[in-house]
Structure 1
Amino acid sequence: MTSNSPRPARHEPTPADPDLYPDLATAGSLAAALAMAAAERGLDLGAVLSNDADPLRTAGVTSTAADREPCWIFIGSESRWFNINGARQGVQLLSGSTSDLEELARAAAGWRNGARLREIEKAASFIKVSELAEAHERGPAEAVTVQWRLLLEDLRQEAPRLAFACQTLVLAETASAEPKLRQLYPFTSHWSLHFTTCTGFPYSWDVPFVDPLSDGRYRVCGPSRGTVIGEADTAEHAIALVIGGLPADCGPSVAGTANDLRHQQLG
């Protein structure tokens, strides 16, 4: 059987606007322009990666540091800017935007060569290192400690105006007083309070979580969302149900993602 339907047109990547990016237009791609800018300043970026889906607007730089993923650079379409993001073990540590290709190359070189986040920030001022990112760099125990404090601070700001935030705050304050939960990495999703045994995303789902209910009570579920452990009238009772449902070998949260934990278990 034949068809008279035309074949779909081949997708061609959108080139960078030459008025905004004359340096990219001259080099032919973002990766080539970045490599050229780095080489002119004696910076080592290795073999700059090019995204096959969008090579004219995206580039990546691998890192020699253990567990650091390649940092990826994207360009703006309406104004000149280069956005860079770098992650390690499921956590975004590096981010920032600049219109200066030379400054971008300095940041990418620091990421590649394993420089500390504050060192990269010093070399490229457009990089802004968050307190939590720096804590992750120091290790999972530091990340857990800072995440607990930031989560409680955020909930205390939201609690006066949102009932669910107030309920979740009471939960989080109760949980933070329990050593078995204080060692886990906490996070919220639609006001549900979760605990994960790893500090990187995707998070683990091996610990029960708590949903605040509209009547002021709580529902404890887990490890899967469809499994209800029980309902509780108070935050104290809800947290007790969470602790009762902890895995037998539950210890402090570790660096990495749920996928990393799964691979370790299989290995």
Structure 2
Amino acid sequence: MTDLIFFGLAEDGVMSSRAMRPDPFLYPDVEAAGGDLVAALRETGKQMGVPMAGLGESYPPEGRSSHFAAVVEAECGDVRIELRQERREVTVMIRMPLLGIGGYGATGSLEVAVEVAHAWRSGMPLAEMAAEWEFLTVTPEALAHDQGKAVEFEWASIQRLPANLIDQDLVAAAFRSPELRSLFPIVTHGSLQFRRRTISGPGSDVPSIFPMTGGRWRVICLWDPKIPKRIAETTEEAVGIVVAGLPEGCGAAVEVIRAARRGA
């Protein structure tokens, strides 16, 4: 967690707004905006001719000043901008829904932070952002989602999981099915589940496969407990039951991050 600055308490024991300002010697541009990072970023964007839509205060854990953190919100995630205490350093974190931090890095410039935030909100591909700003590190998972390869990435990740987490014979059988290979796979509690969107909440209208003793498998429709469970003797049989139970019109999983960032 980025270190934040505190200079003291007011007489009533409450941190004063002045005390919570960044060091004016390290951040004169923030001091010129009344010690408020959001105001400083807004002014920086104005001078650069860069719109700062979605810019607002970020609310860190209790006891930490929002003067040191700002956020630029976007449909597909947000960019959090923070200031460090011991040196002039503006940290930039790209946070994606359900994935967490997808990109991070640090610069000494508010202008650069504004450029990065605007690029993300405008839909600039993450690979191009990492090439444009070398300090920005992008995670492989975030890059896959941004490029519309999340399904492929997740299948490859699951195929590397140890046997105590998932039966790889089951994974192989499911992967051989074109219908299931095009869905987003999830492994939880030894089960193999499928989603029609790469970013989605709990639950799915696609049947899931759970292990049983004796090498058998239970196929469950988690979205409707009234639908009877099916028992399969082999992985191939379990996969066949899932395919037969796919909802009408089920096709390849929607690559949510790419669609949101490219306006698709």
Q: Which residue of 1 aligns with 2:130?
A: 121
The residue type equivalent to 2:52 in the other structure is G
The structure with the greater share of residues assigned to helix is 1
* Counterpart AA for 2:104: G
The normalised TM-score by structure 1 is 0.68
Q: Distance in 2 between matches of 1:10 and 1:117?
A: 41
Structure 1: unaligned runs, 5 residues or longer: 1-8, 261-267
Q: CA deviation at 1:216?
A: 4.2
Change in CA separation of 1:131 and 1:47 when aligned onto 2, cut-off 3 Å: closer
C-alpha distance in 1 between matches for 2:108 and 2:192: 41
Tell me what 1:112 maps to.
121
**Alignment RMSD (CA, Å):** 3.9
How do residues 1-267 of structure 1 correspond to structure 2 at under 5 angstroms? 15=20, 18=23, 22=27, 26=31, 27=33, 28-38=35-45, 42=48, 44-47=50-53, 49-51=55-57, 53=59, 55-61=66-72, 68-69=75-76, 71-75=78-82, 82-87=91-96, 94-98=102-106, 100-102=108-110, 103-139=112-148, 142-152=149-159, 154-155=160-161, 158-159=162-163, 162=164, 164-165=165-166, 167=167, 169-202=168-201, 205-213=204-212, 216-224=215-223, 226=225, 229-256=229-256
Q: How many residues align?
A: 234
- Secondary structure class of the residue paired with 2:229: strand
- Name the amino acid aligned to 2:216: R
1:47–1:138 CA distance, 2 compared to 1 (3 A)? closer
CA distance in 2, matches of 1:61, 1:101: 16
**Distance change >3 Å, CA 81–CA 137, structure 1 → 2:** same
Whether the aligned pair in 2 keeps the contact of 1:219 and 1:231 (CA below 8 Å) is: yes
The one-letter code matched in structure 2 to 1:56 is: H
8 A Cα contact 1:208 1:223, kept in partner = yes
AA aligned to 2:80 is I
* Identical counterparts, % of pairs: 25
